[in-house]
A and B are shown apart, each in its own frame.
Chain A
């Protein structure tokens, strides 16, 4: 039967999608649907929580339970949903303004707690829904309606933050790379713990070309690297570039110039290197890291620990409600 088979279509709602033509969010929604297929839960056991912003309209387009909430708080609300019913497959969709500005506090603490959520941060480096103001992820000098003379805030790198908080799954992709986006959504869906995905997106109206260096069909590949566990860190239009160690840092080099053994091999479980990888930027002479940068399944999730503790206290103390009510000094009149 068509509507019980877990396909991308099965997760699509009938609502008309109202994003601008050419918006990066379309491709990302497609990838998230692939992640849900991989998670293997029927759509009535899936919940999507979003905040406010263009990307936060996402739940309306998905044939699942959906909660379109308030600006910045999706991580806290989703944490409550997941803890209340850990059987649900819970996804949070947020933007760079929603997650890193007004919702920064909830974002960092959800990562720290390792609540078993799939978190998609769609980063277009701009506020779209409020029509074009700069966000904490906007570039220095970026022109927007509230920075007509250029942004003078230093930008934030959300994935670097995730590493420093002990995030257990950290991955990045870009709207233009649909297959890679699907891949990380599938991996994230299967990861037990907080799955942090940053997906770069273009905003055709307010920040067109937000990531054009990375999406250029001819030269783009020289500016990003797709990391794969156990594989050598090489990249470039002709795979001519690589990453090597440079003291406590990483530097880019030409494959031809270094010994093969010196080319770094990606290890998803190395948090120290992950910190360096998340920070790489083309303007610092290093490729943007794509793919699964860090993944560690060994850390317990918050939601698991909540119920382990409930059971442990039940076994140890095991009071009935009547016993609780009658605790302390009691007397009979």
Chain B
């Protein structure tokens, strides 16, 4: 009975949901994420779904997953091996049981273990009965039966009732993790109740009943001997919401427009996993954000460049193959020296590769994937919430330096979510000083010259169409300071050097890197972008174990932060874990002539902390 289930305090719990694609795994995962966050835990999550919209049901290829980690301290990743697995059918069980921690809990819907479903995924006997799951704490719950019973008096078809199993499961988990049920009930009302955007009262009632049934089931069934009790995490004071990286970037675009006084403009084309960004941004018409969904990736960046030339704050959003298509136009923004932010949500490559899976393999494409000497600044967001700040910073630098800037995020942080401390518009840096259009009234007696520069930033003087008397021509041919086309050999040398120096100069104003751990030691682990979480968690644990290990995270991956070389020189060995075949390692080796070791992983899945820890221990000779 409930009284017998003892509350076991835990520091963190890793939960994984798996089921049919289209079975609502992302929804239930996001709901538990929100519930935990609302209850004061820190959380981090990672969706994992197949590229087919409705992949064949009941097959392993069609399994959709969602993993999350909730804790009473700062959580940096969606966790390693799950403590609790919720698998809704035999295919999902077969797909993910092997990932569960020894002794971990597996919750599954026993009603779905029909002979047909079992044989479809090659189970010769029922794994719930044949002992193959010995070593796990298996909770086989007849979910359909229980939900149908709970909804017996409702005028709904059985399939419609069965869909309420997700909220039933939420009820069980709410009890298991000792969460506040009221928050879920409020959520159901918000989403389906009378005041919802599209009220669905019957669904609201059914889900409420199913949720309460699940909660009650947790309390009364003798299934659970222990419940988890997570304390609230120590988190900086403020207003929070859960946010995905793609949503955070979309909001940053609207906010940067407002804070620069320029009309924000996105030229784009749908591509997984960046499309959610465009979805949300398309709703921001009331914030004055113009979105043009163009005929292809090239047109997406091209209309953004056109908008930039006309004085809008322009963005284009994409993923790897799209970035490849935008190559020539990115070079155009660079030689025209107009501001542009390119947000690239990286996915598995090459070519179409793994559209729904994460990877960090566009670093070298971002660095060198254009003809000619064509450097541009690259900033890599290190968490879903950081996608806001990284995109906002990119907009600032693009304006200040009159240059295209690439924001690298990835499928993991783009679609994963974590709590975001919501800033107020007043708190955000004012971007108007960086706009600084050239106007004749500010320069009496001076004639406008399109490629005259600010001596500090090397940003060129910029007059937009409509500025009185400043009509001029710019183009993609090499030109001299006056803007006139020039094929003069020394002029090209000079202009190429200036374009490079402009990006190099940025390093001077970048913040110094902060070291996690001691200033010197045996191993330095360098993460960039989305590997931040796993490396931070791993280094924290290694330090706690007394190892002489430190970590740094590169947010600006080009140019390198000013003190990077000096930090590297203070460690015996350097490790760069990357979701690619060693692209940052290559750059670090070339730049600093150090024997950087690469830990590479290209499995469509982010690093787990233990993978980093194992590699560091190997380097320490332990």
Q: Cβ of A45 < 8 Å from any Cβ of B?
A: yes
Contacts of A217 in B (CB 8 A): none
Q: Are B294 and A85 in contact (CB under 8 A)?
A: no
Q: Are B240 and A331 in contact (CB under 8 A)?
A: yes
Q: How far is the CA of A324 from the CA of B311 in the complex (A)?
A: 24
- Looking at chain B's contact residues, is the secondary structure mostly helix, strand, loop, or mixed? mixed
Shortest CB distance B474–A (Å): 6
- The segment from A61-69, A151-159, A173-181, A254-262 found at the interface with B is A61-69
Q: Are B187 and A329 in contact (CB under 8 A)?
A: yes
Shortest CB distance A324–B (Å): 6
Shortest CB distance A48–B (Å): 8
Q: Provided the pairs A80-B305, A105-B299 are in contact, do residues A326 and B267 lie with their beta carbons within 8 angstroms?
A: no
Q: Are A73 and B329 in contact (CB under 8 A)?
A: yes
Q: Cβ of A314 < 8 Å from any Cβ of B?
A: yes
Q: Are B254 and A83 in contact (CB under 8 A)?
A: no
Contacts of B261 in A (CB 8 A): none
Q: Are A330 and B241 in contact (CB under 8 A)?
A: yes
Q: Are A310 and B285 in contact (CB under 8 A)?
A: yes
Interface residues of B in 423-442 (CB under 8 A from A): 423-425
Q: Cβ of A49 < 8 Å from any Cβ of B?
A: yes
Contacts of A330 in B (CB 8 A): 239-241, 422
Q: Are A76 and B476 in contact (CB under 8 A)?
A: no
**Cβ-neighbour of B310 out of A13, A43, A60, A85 (below 8 A):** A85
* B312 to chain A: closest residue by CB: A84
Contacts of B477 in A (CB 8 A): 68
Interface centre among A15, A64, A85 (most CB of B within 10 A): A85
Interface residues of A in 52-82 (CB under 8 A from B): 52, 59-60, 62-70, 73, 76-82
* B237 to chain A: closest residue by CB: A333
Contacts of A66 in B (CB 8 A): 471-475
B interface footprint on A289-333 (CB within 8 Å = 1, 0 otherwise): 000000000000000001001101110111111101111111111
Q: Are A81 and B309 in contact (CB under 8 A)?
A: yes
Interface centre among A77, A319, A322 (most CB of B within 10 A): A77
Q: Cβ of A170 < 8 Å from any Cβ of B?
A: no
Interface residues of A in 156-209 (CB under 8 A from B): none
Q: Are B473 and A84 in contact (CB under 8 A)?
A: no
* A109 to chain B: closest residue by CB: B295
Q: Are B241 and A328 in contact (CB under 8 A)?
A: yes
Counting contact residues on chain B (CB < 8 A from A), the size range is 35 or more
Contacts of A326 in B (CB 8 A): 239, 241, 422
Contacts of B309 in A (CB 8 A): 47, 67, 77, 80-81, 84
A interface footprint on B60-85 (CB within 8 Å = 1, 0 otherwise): 00000000000000000000000000
Shortest CB distance A301–B (Å): 14
* B470 to chain A: closest residue by CB: A44
Q: Cβ of B288 < 8 Å from any Cβ of A?
A: yes
Contacts of A108 in B (CB 8 A): 295
Q: Cβ of B251 < 8 Å from any Cβ of A?
A: yes
Q: Are B307 and A76 in contact (CB under 8 A)?
A: no
Q: How far is the CA of A313 from the CA of B290 in the complex (A)?
A: 12
Count of residues in A whose CB is under 8 Å from the partner chain: 60
Q: Are B425 and A13 in contact (CB under 8 A)?
A: no
Q: Are B299 and A84 in contact (CB under 8 A)?
A: no
**Cβ-neighbour of B242 out of A43, A78, A318, A328 (below 8 A):** A328
A interface footprint on B287-302 (CB within 8 Å = 1, 0 otherwise): 1101010111011001
Q: Cβ of A249 < 8 Å from any Cβ of B?
A: no
- The segment from B198-206, B460-468, B547-555 found at the interface with A is B460-468
* B463 to chain A: closest residue by CB: A65
Q: Are A88 and B310 in contact (CB under 8 A)?
A: yes
**Cβ-neighbour of B475 out of A68, A319, A324, A333 (below 8 A):** A68
Q: Are A77 and B290 in contact (CB under 8 A)?
A: no
**Cβ-neighbour of A44 out of B422, B423, B425, B466 (below 8 A):** B466
Q: Are A68 and B240 in contact (CB under 8 A)?
A: no
Contacts of B469 in A (CB 8 A): 44
**Cβ-neighbour of A332 out of B238, B336, B472 (below 8 A):** B238
Shortest CB distance A90–B (Å): 9
**Cβ-neighbour of B251 out of A13, A46, A80, A324 (below 8 A):** A324
Q: Are B471 and A79 in contact (CB under 8 A)?
A: no
Q: Are B465 and A45 in contact (CB under 8 A)?
A: yes
Q: Provided the pairs A105-B296, A326-B241 are in contact, do residues A68 and B474 lie with their beta carbons within 8 angstroms?
A: yes
* A108 to chain B: closest residue by CB: B295
Contacts of A8 in B (CB 8 A): none
Q: Are B287 and A73 in contact (CB under 8 A)?
A: no
Q: How far is the CA of A92 from the CA of B538 in the complex (A)?
A: 56
* B236 to chain A: closest residue by CB: A333
Q: Are A331 and B38 in contact (CB under 8 A)?
A: yes
Q: Cβ of B568 < 8 Å from any Cβ of A?
A: no
Q: Are B422 and A325 in contact (CB under 8 A)?
A: yes
Q: Cβ of B265 < 8 Å from any Cβ of A?
A: yes
Shortest CB distance A297–B (Å): 23
B residues sitting closer than 8 Å to A (CB atoms) are 34, 37-38, 40, 187, 235-242, 251, 254-255, 258, 263, 265, 267, 284-288, 290, 292, 294-296, 298-299, 302-312, 314, 328-329, 332, 336, 422-425, 464-477, 484-485
Would you mind naming 22 contact pairs between A and B with Cβ atoms under 8 Å apart? Answer: A44-B471, A65-B471, A68-B476, A70-B328, A79-B299, A80-B310, A81-B309, A84-B265, A108-B295, A109-B295, A309-B285, A310-B288, A319-B287, A322-B425, A324-B287, A325-B251, A328-B241, A329-B38, A330-B240, A332-B238, A332-B239, A333-B40
Q: A52-B476, A83-B306 are in contact. List 12 more A-B contacts (CB 8 A).
A: A44-B470, A47-B309, A47-B465, A76-B306, A79-B299, A80-B306, A84-B312, A317-B285, A317-B286, A319-B286, A326-B422, A328-B242
Among all A-B residue pairs, the 9 with the closest Cβ atoms: A80-B306, A68-B475, A80-B303, A313-B285, A66-B473, A84-B307, A84-B310, A76-B302, A76-B299
A residues sitting closer than 8 Å to B (CB atoms) are 13, 15, 43-47, 49, 52, 59-60, 62-70, 73, 76-85, 87-88, 105-106, 108-109, 306, 309-310, 312-314, 316-322, 324-333
